[in-house]
Amino acid sequence: MTLLLKGGRVLDPSRSIDREGDLLIVDGKIAQSRSQIPKKGCPPGTETLDLQGKIVVPGLIDMHTHLREPGFEYKETIASGCEAAVAGGFTSVACMPNTNPVNDSRSVTEFIRTKAAGCSLANVYPIAAISMKSEGVLLTEFWDLKEAGAVGFSDDGRPVMNAGLMRRALEYASSLDAPVIAHCEDKNLSAGGAMHEGDVSTELGLSAIPGIAEDVMVARDLLLAEYTGAALHIAHVSTAGAVRLIREAKARGVRVTAETAPHYFILTDEAVRGFDTNTKVYPPLRSAADRAAIREGLADGTIDAIASDHAPHGRTDKEVEFDYASSGLTGLETSLALSLRLVADGVLSLSALIEKMAPRPAGILRIPKGTLAEGADADVTVIDPERIWTLDRALLRSRGKNTPFHGWVFKGKAVLTVVGGAIRYRDPQDRP
């Protein structure tokens, strides 16, 4: 199958390209990327799409997704998660291991890969657990998991409280050139809290998680990364303190990268006032000062990547009292639109934003993605920057309808998602 994407604004931060141009896709690869590719030179049967006014970027990569299968299929399946991914403009996702069973063995990693391949939607890269059942006691078989296809190691959802175990995890992962992805939370400080500790938690009378619960663990893990020389990736950064610590560590030459999620640069703990359990997430929505620091960290490069932390849950998980609700929000279908607000607000250039959503995640996960260079896999996302749309949770592809953004009006949307040269999503309103 051949596809000619014509006349769009091709924005490829991996090659510092931002110009009008055409892309020719043949047999799943980018065959040509030029300012003009004449139709008559293309193979017979080439499908041409006129993309004037649209932005053509390397397929977006969500490096932090929860797909819930095996075990929690009522929240999400690999198939429904991949449908949500391509609808949100993501051609690749890395999925966290907190399934049931936990992805702490070759068989679970292989199961995920086989299921994902059967869906033929987005590319799925499993992240394996650091410890068996993510209980923080026994390390998993890193080599075996890497060989089975795991691209990184994380006990995401839970911190590794044992510093000795974290040290060994960093050492083993380093010998395999795979990142350790840290969920930074000191359990003794967070102590089962339901929201951020501050004036709002006091007013609402909810148990609270102080920012220092994150900062303490970020500091520990940075020290361990420095000590071991291993590559550390810090997941879902939410505090000003964490941003400062990561910035300082980078200046010292520590091999650290970091991600944040859209809800941390869009919302604050004020959003919890209505007791909407869709605002319950770990780490929790923080203060306005934290949000400002996250934006600064994105702008100055301290925070390398934006990931959705897509955490779909069922109605029964969320339609309960705030204290008892599961934490997390569905993110794959809102991540791009929320992130485009950083461009509208002057925090990031469009190129810097796309860099944090494709080439940087690819680099951190060491996957051969995130570029529109000739010869690369034809994973392409097309964005309509002018498209105004309103989020209706009922229309989400994800099984998880748990979003605090229901009814929000957005500008900018993925309208075409091409994975391996095949169209996997096309916006219904955008068809000719």
Which of 104, 215, 304, 309 is the catalytic position?
309
* Out of 282, 331, 369, 404, the residue judged to bind ligand DOR by CB under 6 A: 282
- Taking each helix axis from N to C terminus, what angle separates 335-344 and 350-357, rounded to the nearest 10 degrees? 150
Residue 189 corresponds to which tokens in the numbers above?
């400080």
* Out of 160, 311, 372, 383, the residue judged to bind ligand DOR by CB under 6 A: 311
Closest CA to 63 of 403, 425, 399, 362: 362
Tell me the closest approach of the beta carbon of residue 32 to ligand DOR, in angstroms. Answer: 41
The conformation of residue 59, written as its DSSP 8-state character, comes to P
Q: Are 126 and 103 in contact (CB under 8 A)?
A: yes
Residue 370 corresponds to which tokens in the numbers above?
């995130």
Contact range with Zn ion by CB under 5 A, out of 4-12, 81-89, 156-164, 214-222: 156-164
- Taking each helix axis from N to C terminus, what angle separates 240-252 and 288-299, rounded to the nearest 10 degrees? 30
x-marked contacts with ligand DOR along 314-353 as a string, rule CB under 6 A: -------------xx-------------------------
Cα three-residue angle 395-65-396, rounded to 5 degrees: 0
- Taking the C-alpha atoms of 16, 20, 26 and 32 in order, what is their torsion angle to the nearest 10 degrees? -60
Closest CA to 98 of 72, 136, 77, 122: 72
Residue 281 touching ligand DOR (CB under 6 A): yes
x-marked contacts with ligand DOR along 176-195 as a string, rule CB under 6 A: -------x------------
The single-letter code of the amino acid at 269 is D
The conformation of residue 8, written as its DSSP 8-state character, comes to E
Q: Which residue is at the shortest CB distance from ligand DOR?
A: 328
Residue 186 touching Zn ion (CB under 5 A): no
Residue 54 corresponds to which tokens in the numbers above?
């649209």
Please, which residues have CB within 8 angstroms of residue 87's CB and are 6 or more apart in sequence? 332, 333, 397, 414, 417, 425
Tell me the closest approach of the beta carbon of residue 126 to ligand DOR, in angstroms. Answer: 15
* Out of 91, 92, 98, 154, the residue judged to bind ligand DOR by CB under 6 A: 98
Query: Most distant CA pair in the chain: distance in Å?
Result: 68
- Select from ligand DOR, Zn ion, none the partner in contact with residue 240, using the beta carbon and a kind-dependent cut-off of 5 to 8 Å: none
x-marked contacts with ligand DOR along 50-69 as a string, rule CB under 6 A: ----------------x---
Question: Cα(313)–Cα(421) distance, rounded to whole angstroms?
Answer: 32
Which residue, 213 or 380, has its beta carbon nearer to ligand DOR? 213
Tell me the closest approach of the beta carbon of residue 75 to ligand DOR, in angstroms. Answer: 8
Tell me the closest approach of the beta carbon of residue 261 to Zn ion, in angstroms. Answer: 8
Cα 33 versus chain centre, distance: 27
* Out of 156, 214, 290, 333, the residue judged to bind ligand DOR by CB under 6 A: 156
Q: Are 403 and 334 in contact (CB under 8 A)?
A: yes
Q: Which positions from 307 through 346 interact with Zn ion, judged by CB under 5 A?
A: 309
Per the annotation, the verdict on 430 as an active-site residue is: no
Which residue, 183 or 356, has its beta carbon nearer to ligand DOR? 183
Which residue, 88 or 284, has its beta carbon nearer to ligand DOR? 284
Q: Which residues bind ligand DOR (CB under 6 A)?
A: 66, 98, 156-157, 183, 281-282, 311, 327-328
Active-site residue numbers? Answer: 309
Q: Which residues bind Zn ion (CB under 5 A)?
A: 156, 309
